[in-house]
Structure 1
Amino acid sequence: MTAEIEVKYRVLDVDALLAALERHGIALSAPTVQDDQAYAPATWQDGDSRIGVTFARLRHQSGRCLFTTKTPVDNALACVENETEVADPGQMHRALLAMGYRPTVRVLKTRRTGKVGDWSLCLDDLSGKGAFLEVEAVTDGEHPLVQVQDQLDQWVLGLGVRLERTGATYDEVVSRSAASA
């Protein structure tokens, strides 16, 4: 079992974060645009638990399309994940509909990435929603996923930058802002 565990923060001061990352010797990539279409099982509704429910995504980035499934284990940011490139995004969309999934939200973001040892770091500008920092670890699922999240959180707190931790996924952030508009 491959699990992706992440911690996510709203960035209150991007310049302060960039300076802290530089002090830690972390260089970020050039920005890339990601256009994600999220899918949920037709039987799942906003507000229902996500634990144990498999969600899907089609991500367009740099002329490629990635198909991803995520099944939350302990919380929405600790998931069993599967991912592969797809040659025909239209066919994959239709296949998802045929399997009983429905499109939920579209998430547009500009992402810069970096590495912290074996961890991935993402600085995202979520279109119209602000900047976010994600730190991700991929594990074999042997250790409790929440324990890994605690380790990631401790590292982020060590940066000494004002950040606002969130347990929300980007599709939840987009859905909530659309509902309040």
Structure 2
Amino acid sequence: MIEVEVKGYADDKVFERVRESFRLIRKEYHEDTYYQHPCRDFSKTDEALRIRVRRFNGHFEAFLTYKGPKLDSVSKTREEIEVPIEDPDAHARILEALGFREVLTVEKVREKYYVEKGITLTLDEVEGLGKFVEIEALTDDREKVPELVEKLRGILLELGVTRFERRSYLELLLGKGG
């Protein structure tokens, strides 16, 4: 599956416009722990491996996620493979036993909104970074990526986003000295 994603910097006005324009699905709390491969440098290959713990409405979910390199020069579009896991601590121990090294944990509060069928938008408050808005769609068809990127960028522009960001929260935090 290809995750087509466009992210921008947000402020209180962008948050207000989103809250007025779209239907809230839920508020979530994320802890994303990223790992470095023992034999290749993900910062050079533009890949990511993480364990995400997501909490909402008294519920707990965890996922192991691989993200491949970005597929274009404008957005954060990339292949994503995600599987649910029941015991994130045990999975972390397996990764570490195989030589993977924990890099950093990104913590954020996320509000997830429904835009239209197949498109969701999130308001993120990331610890140590501030406010962001992300919009995403999923596709199996690489041919549709440019059209989807333009559509998603257009929605963010209408919401008042003026500055876009292709780097992940992990990259931004590491750039600050993490």
* Counterpart residue number, 1:115: 114
Q: Is residue 2:49 matched to residue 1:48? A: no
Equivalent of residue 27 in structure 2, options 11, 28, 31: 31
CA distance in structure 1 between the partners assigned to 2:66 and 2:42 by the alignment: 18
Cα distance in structure 2, aligned partners of 1:143 and 1:100: 37
Q: Give the ranges of 4+ consecutive aligned residues of structure 1 lying more than 6 Å apart after TM superposition.
A: none
Whole-angstrom distance in 2 between the partners of 1:156 and 1:64 = 28
Please give the secondary structure, in 1, of the residue aligned with 2:128. coil
How far the C-alpha of 1:42 sits from its partner, in A, is: 2.4
SS of residue paired to 1:103:
strand
| 1:57 aligned onto 2:50 | yes
Residue pair 1:78, 1:146 contacting (<8 A) in 2 also: no
Query: Deviations 1:24-60 (Å, cap 9, x if unpaired)?
Result: 3x0334532111101232234475241xx4x211111
Structure 2 equivalent of residue 157 of structure 1: 157
- Give the conservation status (yes or no) of the 8 Å contact 1:135–1:152: yes
Secondary structure, aligned partner of 1:143:
helix
Deviates most, 127-136 or 74-83: 74-83
Contact 1:74 1:146 in 2 (8 A): no
Query: 1:176: how far off?
Result: 0.9
1:70 to 61, 67, 70: 67
> C-alpha displacement at 1:162, in angstroms?
4.1
Q: Deviations over 1:136-171 (max 9, x none)?
A: 110013425344222211221122x14320111111
Q: Name stretches of at least 5 consecutive residues in structure 1 with no aligned partner.
A: none
Kindly report the root-mean-square deviation, in angstroms, between the aligned alpha carbons of the 2 structures.
Answer: 2.2
State the aligned residue count. 171
Deviation at 1:99, TM superposition (A): 4.3
For the 8 Å contact 1:33–1:111, the answer to whether it is kept is yes
Q: What is the CA distance between 1:109 and its match in structure 2?
A: 0.3
Distance 1:99 1:143, change over 3 A: farther
Task: Give the direction of change, closer, same or farther, for the CA distance of 1:95–1:47 in structure 2 (3 Å limit).
Answer: closer
Distance 2:107 2:87 in 1: 20
| Alpha-carbon distance between aligned partners in 1 of 2:27 and 2:104, rounded to the nearest angstrom | 22
Tell whether the 8 Å contact from 2:15 to 2:123 is kept in structure 1 after alignment: no
Q: Identity of counterpart residues, as a percentage?
A: 25
1:1-181 matches, cutoff 5 A: 2-11=1-10, 13-14=11-12, 16-24=13-21, 26-45=22-41, 47-50=43-46, 53=47, 55-62=48-55, 63-75=60-72, 77-117=76-116, 118-143=118-143, 145-159=145-159, 161-178=160-177
Q: Give the alignment's TM-score, normalised by structure 2.
A: 0.84
